[in-house]
Amino acid sequence: MDGGAAAAAVGAGRALAGGQSSLASPENVQVHVVNTNFTLSWDYRGSDHRVTFSAQFQW
């Protein structure tokens, strides 16, 4: 990757809005890099499967 380094951090926030509960953090996070294609995968053991996670790439 041109001598650069890429890092990814994935986590579920613990801040709660009204009527919401704490989320379980993703586990076994893996980053697969092929040229400029970055694919994130993880295991999520939480009971609510209507959860979305986001990741931010910073070079």
In a domain, 54, yes or no: no
The model's pTM is: 0.46
In a domain, 17, yes or no: no
In a domain, 30, yes or no: yes
Cα–Cα distance for residue pair 15/23, rounded to 1 Å: 9
Number of domains comprising the chain: 1
Q: Which residues contact 45 (CB under 8 A, 6 or more apart)?
A: 24, 27
CB 27, CB 44: distance < 8 Å: yes
In a domain, 1, yes or no: yes
In a domain, 42, yes or no: yes
Q: At 22, list the tokens.
A: 């704490």
Expressed as residue numbers, the domain containing 32 is 1-7+24-49
In a domain, 18, yes or no: no
Q: Output the pLDDT for position 1.
A: 41
How confident is the model over 1-50, as pLDDT tens digits?
A: 444 444 444 444 444 555 666 777 788 989 999 998 888 888 888 777 77
